[in-house]
Chain A
Amino acid sequence: MTRTRLIMVGLSLALWFGWAAPLHAFHTWKKKILPSGLTLLVVEKTDVPAVSLTLLVKHGTTSEPIDKQGVASLTARLLTEGTRQWSSAQTAERIAASGGEFVTDVDFDDTTIDWAILKQDLGSALAILAEVVRHPIFPQTAVERKRTARLAELKQKIEDTPQTSLFRALFGDGPYGGSASEATESLTNMTQKDVAQFHRRTYRPGDIILAAAGDVTFAEFVALATQYFGDWSTTEEGENTPATFVNTATSTVSIVDRSLAQASLRLAFVGASATDPNTPALKLLTHVLADGPESRLGQTLREQRGWTYTVRGALETFRKTGVFFLTMSVPYEFVLPALEQSARELACLTANPVTEAELARAKQQATTEFYFAMENLPDLSRFIARYEAFHAEQEPPERLLGVLNRVTPTELQQAARQYLNPRKAVVSVVGDRERLKKFAPSLVEGKTPQWATQCGREGQ
């Protein structure tokens, strides 16, 4: 994944929350599907003379052939490295003249290009976007250069982050469990032909959403988009997204040795997909458990014991599945106690329903978080593109208002039972191995903690 997970968290929330929040102006986007199948979306917001564009391709790493891991990212990185009309330098010059950042992002289920420009540059920006998306030529020298750079990044990633091993532990060798080392292996032999083929099969107008938020009217945008994308057609057979997903998670522990003053802990659970009816309950559980000092873990780990500055919960949702995270940073001597206490709190959530007051607070926090995740134009264009990608055939947002507020304590309890079983937690610890050996030797040996299964706080 090339995009920060922080952004994903906000978007995961947004993907289902769009129908849960009160209808406000920014929800009223307009939509048109061009004859080619390309979907246009517009949110008109005219207070500043800028427009944010998001072009979303409904294919990411889960669309990669099994022996071509890494091709989605390589393809995205090569879009601006030369087209039918322009060289890499000419493309870069045109993008730079807009003043905005041209940001590509490849995730499990999609590839996005985010680009914000001044209104005066909208026409030229769409011309550039159309050119790089429709007519890249993937020059051999650029393929080799980008492949080398990507391999170096992956090498660093394998050394630095537990993320890829964590997803492997959660999802096995399924489409969401691809590892950096496997991508490294297949990238080494990847050719220009592989990239071009992936591009032909995935960058197809019917699989693309082009969203705009800002100072542009729907009519203006449709006219401009039609000018640059209207004649796009393809006869190439499309790529099918993997249809199956199997939850293979069992509890595992991974240690990343790094010289840190405190150990950074992460518990991960397989969650629900973006459109799963359990997702709102899981989102609320992140707030109940770990959102600020008043949350359950905030109270027990920070307020009562002083073990951590902050503990956070997060939910990421994908097309077929999702991940529920708890993260905290604690002194080494509290690593095992903090994990045990977390397990106790999870056990309490499965044993008893949350109080109405807790649930009301969680709903309010989630609502506010959603709105503030959509504050800026780039957030808006990205949100509507991803919402459309996952919900196009479903009810419009206004018909689904109130879903969040209808979640009950019992539904939260059921979701906790179904998804947050400590015995299936994947634990990653980043910290000084020697200090971990002293205070948490069992973890260093790869043994999972003896998780509490009974509700009841230590010392109570």
Chain B
Amino acid sequence: MKQSRKTHIWELLCGRVRRGFLAGTLTILVASGSTWAALDTGITDHTLANGLTVIVVEDRWHPLVALEVCYRVGARNDPPGKQGLSHVLEHLTFRQRRTSYAEGGTTPERNGRAYATTDRDTTCYSSSIVRDELKATLAGEAERMRTLQASAEDLAHEKTIVARERQQLVEGDTWRNLLEEVDNAAYRLHPYRFPTSGWPETLAQISLDDVRAQFTTYYTPANAVVVAVGDVQRQELLTMIQEFFAAVPAKPQPRPTRFVEPAQGGERRLLLAPHAAPRLVAAYHTPLFSNPDRAVLEVMTTLLAGSDHARLPALLYTHDLAEDVGVEYNPLSHDPGLFYIKVAMGPRIDFQLTGEAVDDVLWHLREDGLRAGELEEAKKRLFLDFYLERGLSTRATRLAHYALLEALPQAQRYVNEIQAVTAADVQRVVDRYFSPRNRVVAVTGVAHQELERKQTGATP
């Protein structure tokens, strides 16, 4: 019996997350074959002459529209030494729209709900509005795409706010702090090792010229996608988009950024914050979005931690080794990402034993395969997740992220991929990716273990 869970916006953007700590999921598009066709009905896409991709989904259950405008630029595109640039740019473009509002203009932030997010690969502007606001919102978004208005004072202010954001959301959150360290250790060359907020030192290096260059390079129609889901009429919307966005000048596509990351070649271990809450993370390198093993890894999220009775909690809870356990995997990563296993240590704080228990779970999956019915239950849970995350904004975000990967959902293919996963696939994937030499292990709070050993008289 599970009790309570939380969802935050940033979590939604972090991909598939299982169990306690985080609960958002945006990255899955799976459905049973017989229903997918109906779910896909109404999804249409269109490309303007300047290269802008437009996706429309009509759904009139709510009198609202979720509008998502996303650009293929994120922390991975920050120049060396200027980490945080894409994030600061996002803040500045958002600030520019607000300024217009203060002056009496109409902006996406005026009504409804609006926010912007920068992650490793993308920057997105999300609006949830009533239909009447659509025209003004689209006009504002087109203006955002076309022009950057930022002064030195604006830049200085938003650097401060980005630093505050980092202090609040990363430095004030032990899990995010820990995962940031794991990312930093997992990559040698790839910019996934850097946080989207950068650091105060790198923010200080960002100039107005840097911001303008980033804007000019990446805020282009061909590098963006506009998604509208909800109370819209397709043709009417396309006409509006044509009206506002067609005039945004076409620019060359940014040169594709390809990074090389050398194979890890051996386990990396991190011993962090001895007095923090006792936690353990094991993070394994995974393949690209286009690799068919992605579907197997998605199934593995549920096999390992989809419920209290899944493999990891079943073992760790029974032995009091975990208070909470979860996994996190983002199959929509633009470059190879990580599969995280996260353990909040239980009453029995023993990192060695907990690590061995995690390995034991993986070993049994690889050597013994799955129990009868286990795979079907895992797939059923994936399908349920999809059905239950059908909100307008969730769908808009999901479609935008797929579109930026140039992989507009082909439902039947996804269904087939998930359905085709076999027990043997799971064994193969565990063998291929979940080895010590392919992972980073990080722990915090070892001082608690020492304390407990002293209290109980246990020997290390």
Interface set of A (CB-CB < 8 Å, partner B): 2-4, 6, 22, 24-26, 45, 47-50, 52, 77, 79-80, 92, 95-105, 116-118, 152, 259-262, 264, 292-294, 302-303, 306-310, 329-331, 361, 364-365, 367-369, 371-372, 374-378
Contacts and interface: CB of A to CB of B under 8 A. Distances in A.
Given A104-B2, A104-B3, A374-B62, 6 more contacts: A50-B388, A77-B1, A96-B309, A103-B2, A260-B172, A330-B164
A224 to B, nearest CB: 19
Contacts of B35: 48-49
Contact of B380 (A99, A310, A368): A99
B62 A6 contact: no
A9 B342 CA distance: 28
B161 A302 contact: yes
B110 A361 contact: yes
A375 B32 contact: no
Interface stretch (B282-290, B293-301, B329-337, B389-397): B389-397
B98 A293 contact: yes
Contact of B63 (A24, A260, A309, A376): A24
A377 B390 contact: yes
Interface string B87-116: 000000001001001100000011111100
Determine which residue in B3, B6, B110, B386 has the highest number of CB atoms from chain A within 10 A of its CB, and name it: B3
A377 B64 contact: no
Contacts of A264: 168, 172
A374 B64 CA distance: 12
Contact of A375 (B4, B101, B394): B394
A101 B308 CA distance: 9
Closest 10 CB pairs of A and B: A375-B391, A99-B380, A261-B171, A50-B387, A364-B111, A48-B387, A309-B165, A329-B168, A261-B167, A368-B112
A390 to B, nearest CB: 21
Contacts of A118: 380, 383-384, 387
B204 interface: no
B172 to A, nearest CB: 5
A368 B39 CA distance: 24
B291 to A, nearest CB: 26
A186 B46 CA distance: 64
Given A96-B307, A376-B389, A24 B61 contact: yes
B132 to A, nearest CB: 10
Contacts of B308: 92
A369 B112 CA distance: 7
Contact of B391 (A6, A104, A331, A372): A372
A105 B3 contact: yes
A97 B377 contact: yes
A79 B1 contact: yes
Contacts of A47: 38-39, 390
Given A97-B377, A309-B169, A368-B113, A22 B63 contact: yes
A405 to B, nearest CB: 13
Contact of B111 (A262, A329, A361): A361
A372 B390 contact: no
Interface in B1-18: 1-7
Contact of A306 (B31, B110, B160): B160
B325 interface: no
Contacts of B77: none
Nearest to A264: B172
Determine which residue in B35, B64, B128, B388 has the highest number of CB atoms from chain A within 10 A of its CB, and name it: B388
A49 B387 contact: yes
13 contacts: A22-B63, A48-B386, A49-B387, A50-B384, A96-B309, A292-B114, A294-B98, A331-B164, A361-B110, A367-B130, A375-B394, A376-B389, A378-B388
B5 A376 contact: no
B381 interface: yes
B347 interface: yes
B167 A262 contact: yes
Given A368-B128, A375-B392, A292 B109 contact: yes
Nearest to B177: A261
Contact of A6 (B7, B276, B373): B7
B62 A117 contact: no
A293 B98 CA distance: 8
A22 B61 CA distance: 12
A36 to B, nearest CB: 25
Nearest to B171: A261
Contacts of A367: 130
A375 B276 CA distance: 37
Nearest to B160: A306
Nearest to A298: B98
A305 to B, nearest CB: 9
Nearest to B389: A376
Nearest to A106: B3
Contacts of A45: 61
Interface in B50-68: 60-64
B157 interface: yes
Given A49-B35, A375-B393, A262 B387 contact: no
